[in-house]
Amino acid sequence: MARKSLVLLSLLVLVIGVQLATSMTSTQYYLTQLTMSAYYAIVVIGLSVLMGYAGQISIGHAGFFAIGGYLSAALTTHNLIQFQESGVVKLLSSLGMIVTGQDLYGEELLVFVPWAACIVAIITAGVIAFVLGIPVLKLKGHYLAMATLGFGIIIYRIALASEYFGEADGISEVPGFTIFPALGDIGPVVVSGDFSGRVQNYYIAWCMLIIGLILLQNLINSRVGRALRSIHGSEEAAEAMGVNTARYKLYVFVLSAVYAAIAGVFLTHYNGGIGPSEASVMKSVRYVALVAVGGMANLWGVLIMGVSLTFLSLRGVFGSYDDAIFGVILIMIMLFAPEGILSIKLKGLFFRKNIRAKQEA
Amino acid sequence: MLELSSLQKNFGGLKAVDDVSFQVAKGTIKAVIGPNGAGKTTLFNCIAGNLAPTSGSIFFQNQEIKGKKPHQIAALGISRTFQNINLFHGMTALENVMVGRHIRSTSGFLAGMFSLPKSWKEEKKIQQRSVELLDILDLSKFAHVEATSLAFGQQRGVELARALATDPSLLLLDEPAAGLNIYETAEVARLITKIRDMGITVLLVEHDMSLVMDISDEIVVLSFGSKIAEDIPSAIQQNSEVIKIYLGEDEEAMA
């Protein structure tokens, strides 16, 4: 317990340290990618619990990310003014879920407030995961991979084809997401790409990631977490010990989908928009690769590798070969370090080589 | 306690279990024996809910359990071990046993994620009970060793502790002595009697005749899916039909 808090504390110190360092060296532009990396890492740690601990693969998590992002973007940007007389819109307005505003050209605008859009988006992603999960999670291994891949492709094609979701252009000019309004001297907490809010947004993202991590860690170390791991270990025996394997697989699938959707919502408000590439199959493959690189059933490893590789990718280090690099990483990891990159012990490697050299000599 | 009547399980044209009926009385040890392919494991899988019987009925404590899922049957108080040891890989011996407490505890996803007091209080109890069970089976020194890396006999012990952790009233043991040497088998015999004395009814499938004859209160003999005898051990040893299956007649000797 003490060790766990210590590790968390050092992460916290590191997060603050990085921010201070960028402020002092005027390299605050790094914070933008670090913020985005943190959001992507939320998807990856959620997927780690599904894949690494419960042993159920999904190559469709970009789909859930996109459902969150796209819905939140569409609801906060599409003008409902033509429906303003309808009962549903009136009801939602009276609940404070819809507000009037003005668009760039001064036209009257009637849209969902980000809070309401966020909740609708996350619940929708959760419900879709639930409905999809009931039949799909009966499948195992490759078949489950194929089915989730199919789901990812469907979401991608819908995003690409639907006018409502902006077709190939996606949705832009998504407003900032005011989490807390201004209170006295304290300014409002807003998720947006505004330069003035860069430091604030960096902290929002990392707070969310750390809270997300703590919750998942608690889960893994609980009765439910143990049951999830037992499903991975032997589904037949887990069932015989009274674990409702179908239900647990479904719940953890929904949980990881909700994590992806939350990341999608926040990143979309941060970026001010979302495009179909966020829903693409390559994104899903990337998430799987990041989970694998981090060591599957290793939340910390997944978080570290998720953030650092995504950061490098966003900085453009891999250039146009970005997707290719992630493919190569996935293959290399599966071949040489199926327990994740952090599991490689260099000492052990050298030691073994020495023995082999001696034997050959 | 457990009552099978006219139980039938077909795999296509093959009658793996053919019209089998018998009862298991509370607090006894009952053994199911028979040559390979007699349908013993199929029978077990029907009781535990892994296979759906084709027809017939299974009553456990006056409740029909046919058609229930394995986890529901486990909740009613039937636990089992597997013929080929089926431990959770990647988990320690203690964690394996702790999964056995799953059905007797209630903390859900949210309680776990937010680490509610209810969750960790329960967790403490789960751990306590599991350590106790490992102690009973003399395995506490392996508590933090990955279960699948233990020696064969120890793995069987962990599996047994895990099954006991569910607080079963009926324990199904699928060949508990398979792969064990004479000493280990004697130890298993002692354990099974001890489990019976704890008030747990035992139904076992076994090949090792000495074990079966020593500890069983009653024996059911299956051959090609049908029940051919049911009696106390001494009577089974004298039963001409049983001798015929096991020793064969004429030159068709069967092991």
Query: Could B102 and A215 be called an inter-chain contact, meaning their C-beta atoms sit closer than 8 Å?
Result: no
Asked if the model's pLDDT at residue B101 lies above 60, the reply is yes
Amino acid at B135: D
Confidence of residue B253 (pLDDT cuts 50, 70, 90): very low
Beta strands in chain B (DSSP E): 2-11, 14-24, 29-33, 55-60, 63-64, 78-80, 170-174, 201-205, 218-223, 226-231
Pick the CATH number of B1-77+168-255 from 3.40.640.10, 3.40.50.300, 3.40.50.2300, 3.30.565.10: 3.40.50.300
pLDDT at A207: 94
Confidence of residue B208 (pLDDT cuts 50, 70, 90): confident
Asked if the model's pLDDT at residue B130 lies above 70, the reply is yes
Q: Chain B contacts of A232, Cβ < 8 Å?
A: 88, 90
pLDDT at B254: 46
Q: What are the extents of the domains in chain B?
A: 1-77+168-255, 89-161
Q: Chain A contacts of B122, Cβ < 8 Å?
A: 223
Disruptive mutation site among B69, B80, B91, B102 for chain A (greatest number of A CBs within 10 Å): B102
pLDDT at B113: 92
pLDDT at A352: 52
Q: Chain B contacts of A297, Cβ < 8 Å?
A: 90
Disruptive mutation site among A231, A241, A251 for chain B (greatest number of B CBs within 10 Å): A241
The 10 Å Cβ neighbour count of residue B34 is: 24
C-alpha A286/C-alpha A299 separation (Å) is 17
- The ranges of chain A with pLDDT < 50 are 347, 361
pLDDT at A278: 94
pLDDT at B255: 44
pLDDT at A340: 78
Chain CA centroid to CA A74, Å: 19
C-alpha B236/C-alpha B206 separation (Å) is 15
Q: Please compute the mean of the pLDDT values over residues B169-182 and round it to a whole number.
A: 91
Disruptive mutation site among A5, A50, A213, A222 for chain B (greatest number of B CBs within 10 Å): A222
| ipTM (interface pTM) | 0.90
**Element (H or E) spanning B125, and its range?**
helix B117-136
Q: Chain B contacts of A251, Cβ < 8 Å?
A: 109
Q: Is A240 on the interface with B (CB under 8 A)?
A: yes
Stronger pLDDT, A181 or B188, i.e. the higher one: B188
Q: Please compute the mean of the pLDDT values over residues B102-123 and round it to a whole number.
A: 91
pLDDT at A359: 52
CB nearest B80 (choices: A216, A238, A240): A240
B:94-133 residues touching chain A, CB 8 A cutoff: 95-96, 98-103, 105, 107-109, 111-115, 119, 122-123, 126
Q: Rounded to 10 degrees, what is the CA torsion of B247, B173, B177, B183?
A: -130
Asked if the model's pLDDT at residue B197 lies above 90, the reply is yes
C-alpha B34/C-alpha B18 separation (Å) is 14
B:203-242 residues touching chain A, CB 8 A cutoff: none
- Taking alpha carbons only, the member of A337, A312, A1 closest to residue A304 is A312
Q: Please compute the mean of the pLDDT values over residues B145-168 and round it to a whole number.
A: 93
Q: What are the extents of the domains in chain A?
A: 11-289
